Amino acid sequence: MARRALISVSDKTGVVDFARQLAERGWEILSTGGTFAALTGAGIAARQVSDVTGFPEMLGGRVKTLHPAIHGGILARREEDHLAELSAQGLSTIDLVCVNLYPFRETVARGAPFDEVVENIDIGGPAMIRSAAKNHAGVLVLVDPADYALALQDEVSGADRQRLAAKAYRHTSEYDAAITAYLEGASDVLPTALPDTLSLKLSRVAAVRYGENPHQPGAVYRLGGARGPVIDARVVAGKPMSFNNYADADAAWALCQELNVQEAALPEHAAVCVAVKHANPCGVALAGDVKTAWERARDADTLSVFGGVVAVNRPVDLAAAQAMRGTFLEVLIAPDVTPDAVEWFAAKKPDLRVLIAGPSQDVSVLDVRPLTGGFAVQEKDARPWDDLCPEVVTTRQPTEQEWLDLRFAWATVKHARSNAVVLARGGVSVGLGAGAVSRIWAAERAVENAGERAQGAVLASEAFFPFDDVVRLAASVGVNAILQPGGAKRDPEVVAACNELGLSMVFTGSRHFRH
């Protein structure tokens, strides 16, 4: 008896050639709808599924393969009792199922109306795929044109059959996740709410040598269909990215873009440079050009920037590239790099990964953190400065320049690990303290880092002050203005200390913990 293949695909890539080769090997081809038309139109002998079932397609094509003649032929074990039962009903086995599904996600992506989207929810396709995958010992299941060549081999190993079955179940599970997300009001699989059940579709986009440490395997995955500025960046020079490179570059680019938006109205500060080390900013600066912004960010902390990751918001030219000559960096990420700068980096800093990043598109609103046995999930902290209602709570008002520096320091401290304190002056981070278990320790680190540059600076904290100790420390080194969320029990004492010492204090009413 000839082997039988059921072919019904939405993505018809390579299917005509595949079916022709099956037919040349003596396979009988069963098909449906558009696939049947494509095959017969190419001169390939095929039978309609309706000829096998004895029933025409019904309900506008909603019902065509949901029949024992199809699923019995797929699910029957190749054992005497099952084969005898099929024969008694006049049915035959189906030995290969080549199916991929209605273009549901593509229909959603082009903004089709709800009723059209629902009609692109495939029912028979997933049922056949799952049936074939369950019975993969006797049935080859194909959901990816890349596997057609494997199916044309004289023998397909049990291991390959199992791999194809796993791929098939992954295919249907991702499809179901996309449908679930759409019906819950999201696009693709990026929910905008936190439902009782959350499905995250992750697809690998990059392999890395290892994770955070050499003994940890690692890889980089895309969430749903989101586009990310770092995971989709174009590497134009240097070595392949590492696990830690991805994490630090993402952190640097996020702060760079927040400052880019915030400082857009200040043409004298057109360039932003952010240096990051271990996911924390270590040097941040504004300037009129990339070269100067880099030099100011580097000089903010020449020790910590060594081995760091740098992001800038403007194209990097040769002058800016050459200014980086004396500093070892892991990654540079920018919206563009001039050809002569790329050539210089490749010749003079061959280990530096140089990335060109596009704007963020369809980025998930979710922040997902692993826990033992699960995940903690929240919406990302995307609150901009313009969403705040800053309130001056002291007698002294900040000067115009101090307001600019307070906004700059607020954006920087928002992207630093808690507890965090940032000192800034003239569009430069002159002192940073991050990841401390005590706020006063974070402030002491920032003050130590700033040294004499603290004179005339401003200070920002991502959370409120439980005591007035940070105020008194800031005043002792010449800080003029402080920004913090407010909301502590001792706020009156903290404000009184500012008035006593002649400092301005601004409450934002918004905390920005980053654990």
CATH 3.40.50.1380 is right for the domain spanning 4-183: yes
For 238, phi and psi rounded to 5 degrees? 95, -175
**SS3 state of residue 209:** coil
**CATH-assigned architecture of domain 229-356:** 3-Layer(aba) Sandwich (3.40)
* Residue 202: strand pairing partners: 223
**How far apart are the C-alpha atoms of 405 and 398, rounded to whole Å?**
10
pLDDT of residue 21: 82
**Choice between 466 and 267, residue whose per-residue pLDDT is larger:** 466
**How far apart are the C-alpha atoms of 265 and 262, rounded to whole Å?**
7
Nearest one of 339, 328, 386, 331 to 357, comparing CA atoms: 331
Sequence-distant (6+) residues with CB within 8 A of 19 are: 5, 7, 29, 39, 44, 46
pLDDT value at 62 more than 70: no
User: Does residue 478 contact residue 453 with C-beta atoms inside 8 Å?
Assistant: no
What confidence tier does 114 reach under pLDDT thresholds 50, 70, 90? Answer: confident
pLDDT of residue 171: 85
pLDDT of residue 188: 46
The CATH topology of domain 385-507 is Cytidine Deaminase; domain 2 (3.40.140)
**How far apart are the C-alpha atoms of 284 and 335, rounded to whole Å?**
17
Rg of the Cα trace of the chain?
Answer: 31
User: Does residue 296 contact residue 287 with C-beta atoms inside 8 Å?
Assistant: yes
Sequence-distant (6+) residues with CB within 8 A of 297 are: 273, 274, 275, 283, 284, 285, 305, 310, 428, 429
One-letter amino acid of 109: A
139-187: per-residue pLDDT in tens? 888 888 888 887 777 787 888 889 989 988 888 888 887 787 777 665 4
**Could you say which DSSP state residue 417 is in?**
P
Q: What is the pTM of this model?
A: 0.74
pLDDT value at 418 more than 50: yes
Sequence-distant (6+) residues with CB within 8 A of 106 are: none
What residue segments make up the domains of the chain, in order of their start?
4-183, 229-356, 385-507
198-217: per-residue pLDDT in tens? 777 778 889 999 999 999 99
Instruction: Report the mean per-residue pLDDT for the chain.
Output: 86
Tell me whether domains 4-183 and 229-356 share a fold: no
pLDDT of residue 495: 96
pLDDT value at 354 more than 90: yes
Q: What percentage of the chain has pLDDT greater than the value 90?
A: 49
Distances (CA, A) of 412 to 257, 258, 382: 11, 9, 13
Which residues are designated catalytic? 134, 278
